[in-house]
Structure 1
Amino acid sequence: MGTAQVTEALKRPSQKSAEAIMGIVHPIINDVRQNGDKALLSYTHKFEKATSLTSPAIDVSFENIRKFHEAQKEEPLKVETMPGVICSRFSRPIERVGLYVPGGTAVLPSTALMLGVPAMVAGCQKIVLASPPRSDGSITPEIVYVAHKVGAESIVLAGGAQAVAALAYGTESVTKVDKIYGPGNQFVTAGKMYVSNDTNAGVGIDMPAGPSEVLVIADSEANPAFVASDLLSQAEHGVDSQVVLIAIDLDEQQLQAIEDELHKQAMALPRVDIVRGAISHSVTIQVKDIDEAMVISNDYAPEHLILQLKDAEKVVDKVMNAGSVFIGQWTPESVGDYSAGVNHSLPTYGYAKQYSGVNLGSFLKHITSSNLTADGLRNVGSAVMQLAKVEELEAHRRAVEIRLSSMDGK
């Protein structure tokens, strides 16, 4: 395959209809913005508050995620750039955060953990979850349990662009938030992009995180059953998920072994129809060596990158663009999705070239400060005045001059 062919083959399925999606999302957002709860409820069901339950699996995952994100805390920074001139940087939590927890074809309490735990560790004052209810209007108890553990204020029983709009603008009973987090389908992603571009909303987003994707790089030592299981675990997310295999110097027989495993394992899955949909636009690319594989991978910038390779650890140095990397045969992507401690809310659509996945820093803002002594202002003052003069900003220049003059008793 030539470069252009590879690029075409790797087009994400949901990127082909961006304008159509915005056309659907726009009126929903406007409706919720203007008509609040009434509109929100017309798109969904009802509200309910958190109750308390217990779940050992959630507790283990909670603790690992908490440890990893707690370790990301930084001490405030203080630098004396010249005598008497002290510059500082310190962090403060984002006060009100909205966490979108998908609930379409699958219930995802793991996403509630991945967003709720760092929000809790960061010290956000208000945590609002939004998740589409089940057909009877209720929400899965696991999500309620996580909301309870992280100290969420409420759960908005709504999904899609309407939930994003409610969080962005607020309604009679939904708190307006400062930043919206979380993955979702293409409508959720489009909704997030829309509100983040509306200056009246005054809301940020974590990143564009759309339908899930995985890229597995496998060499001749990779276990075909393991490779197939990783491809399938991503394919079962939804029909618009993308699954890519880069095969390094595999012969026909080895490729067939992976194909056979894929078929055998897929047939045993309850979500076989969804898997079939995702696999229908999956791509296998054959390359000669690891360098060629990494050029393609870095250009694609996968959400999940799985290295089923001999000496996989050494290859990590070559990774330039990826949401999260899974190293070696004993590290299935599922451990990162649930319980290892790393975050699973990651950039898709190739946005891993510009964005990080959710981390503690996603819930913090950094504020800088300057603190000068009289001598500090003397030391730096002439540079400030000269630059202000060049820019013809006389009031800037005088703000320094007036202070220097007062020191000299003029």
Structure 2
Amino acid sequence: MSNTTTGELFCPLLQLMREHHLNNNTKANLVVVCIHGLVSCLGILENALILWVVGFRLKRRTVASVWVLNLAMSDFLATLMLPFFTFYLYCSHSWELGNPLCKTQASIFFLNMFVSAFLLAAISLDRLLLVVKPVWSQNHRSVAGAWKVCALGWLWAAINMLPYSVFRSVTEKLDGRYLCYHNFALILTSQATLERDCKVRQTATAISKFLLAFLFPLVVISGSYIQISLNLRHRSKRRKQSASWQTDELIMSNKDEASGATNTPTTRKTTNIFLKRVPSGPSLTLSPTASSPTSPSQTCQGQLSQSFSKMVTFVIAAFALCWAPYHVFCIIEVTAQYWNNLYLVEVGLPLATTFAFINPVLNPILYVFSCPNFCVRIRQSLGAVFDGLVEEGGGLLMVSGKSIRAHIRRKSSKDASFTMPGSPKGSSSTH
């Protein structure tokens, strides 16, 4: 298929980019190509590994694992496009792969952008509901519901991706290179309405992706975690006040007994209502027992695992840092033809795009290092790294004929450093 696009209308910005010549520094380009090649291979292997472990090695699916699996699917698709972008850099910033691959690469790039933003906002709202509405979450929160939300996210991303896919095309530059870029004059425009159509479409796409794929999701994420923090702080304050009140009641009761005061049956009954025996010794344990009753609030708070919350925090921070430069340069691009800063856009936008591509490569690393006892678990089993990350109340990983959890328990009994202090000999903690 020929890359030639002669006879077509070009927007003013695209026409400037066709006439512009970049500085050809072969040594610098070679270094960038090598780095891109390594990052491409690493990203594909990482996300394929995440998909294999979370998608096929989990015996019991949880809501948390559904979130991670869909994020990994989006990141895996994005990293599959990295070799094409690397080849574009290798060809001295010339797209030699034709128009179909140009549209495919752009479509998956923007699909990953919208899906990641949607899923991170959905995860934040899920964390908020677990804390604020624990009873409702226990009754309505399910794996099937999580899959429906993810399907809605993919559909939402596909709809928002359409304009970028439709207007993406290969344009031949005056120096003989080929540019895979948006041509907003490609469809439903004429010479008379060219300038107006280009300005409206370019501004609309830049602002819409900034709002829908960056700003609004970050507002939802920030608002959710601020509300979670305030709610937990309020509960902690109430808990301290309740403990202080019970302590005062116990002191007053002991004083009355020491002074020889006689309690009426009514008084004794009232005291027994509010005073609870404080457990001590071996009964103080970090893990819930089958005989101890737990409320829906305690159950849902237990599901809000520290490892998953830490992972979500890291992934959100990486998303904001990696995508912020890209959106900033897209806004600058809108004004490039008016402020004569085209060189800044042509140099800065590919670098910002590279930072955006780093995000799906970085996420699997954050998944792994958010898991507690990483160094111990990675030696015991590859799949066990994700056991504590996506489980909610005891998810199990499968091995041929055996349970990974049993394997970890046997290994942990031999590792003194992995045994909890004060626990009986041979017992271990797998969390």
TM-score under structure 2 length normalisation: 0.22
**Bigger strand share:** 1
With normalisation by structure 1, the TM-score equals 0.23
Identify the structure with the greater helix proportion.
Answer: 2
Structure number with greater CO (CA < 8 Å, separation at least 6) is 2
